[in-house]
Structure 1
């Protein structure tokens, strides 16, 4: 089986399960207070990070080798802000969301060229 057929991003169900559901959960709890929001975000990032690393192994998609660890590492500032250890002010969740989104898209832009695999 070639890499494209094994790629989660090649199918809508794969994309929705691997990234759509966790992103939807993270967005759904924006107005919910800590600790629920913190732990939903951590779970979403862990899920997406694991999906990226699994996808990297399955199809060798270049950006997955980088976005997987990125999502996993982003759990640390989320936990830090959620528990008051990282002072990001009253807009901290927006800053974290922006950092996660911009960071992921930046990694994809830098590592993928015309949808090519590594």
Structure 2
């Protein structure tokens, strides 16, 4: 195990669960809630995961974290807009936001590490 991989939060089950899987679970559990609580939960989860990505990028140089961190924080804007009604996305708005968060994060992760490698 390299020095960088030993500091990677994704390298340990507990680090992954705390940094990403708990907030993802909270977002999924919030789906049936009304817009107010759902918005708060999604915002907290996105900030938590984005912050974890920034921390992980700094700790170990994980490539995708350099890009998913800002992306997850940027996704708070459409979530806040839709959740408050300022940016109505229709009946499927939360569905589309979920796809954008999940699909965008997965695409950034896969493409960035395929092109640039796992660590820098």
Aligning the two structures, in what range does the TM-score lie when normalised by the shorter sequence? over 0.9
Matched, 1:88 2:67: no
Across the two proteins, how many residue pairs are aligned to each other? 118
Structure 1 position 86, deviation (Å): 1.1
> What's the CA shift string for 1:77-106, capped at 9, x where partnerless?
000000111121001000000000110011
Check whether the contact 2:19–2:52 (CA below 8 A) recurs between aligned residues. Answer: yes
| 1:13-54 deviation digits (Å, cap 9, x = unpaired) | 100000000000000010000210000000000000000000
**Within 2, Cα distance between the matches of 1:35 and 1:116?**
38
CA RMSD of the aligned region, Å?
1.3
Distance in 2 between residues matched to 1:116 and 1:26, nearest whole Å: 27
Contact between 2:72 and 2:101, CA under 8 Å: does it hold in 1? yes
Q: Give TM-score scaled by structure 1 length.
A: 0.96
Instruction: Confirm or deny: 8 A CA contact 2:64 2:118 kept in the other structure.
Output: no
Structure 2 gap ranges (5+): none
Map 1:1-118 onto structure 2 (within 5 A).
2-113=3-114, 116-118=118-120
How far 1:109 sits from its partner (Å)? 1.3
Flag the structure with higher helix content. 2
Paired residue secondary structure (1:85)? coil
Where do 4+ consecutive residues of structure 1 move more than 6 Å? none
How far apart in 1 are the matches of 2:108 and 2:21? 18
> What CA distance in whole angstroms lies between the structure 1 residues aligned with 2:45 and 2:118?
26
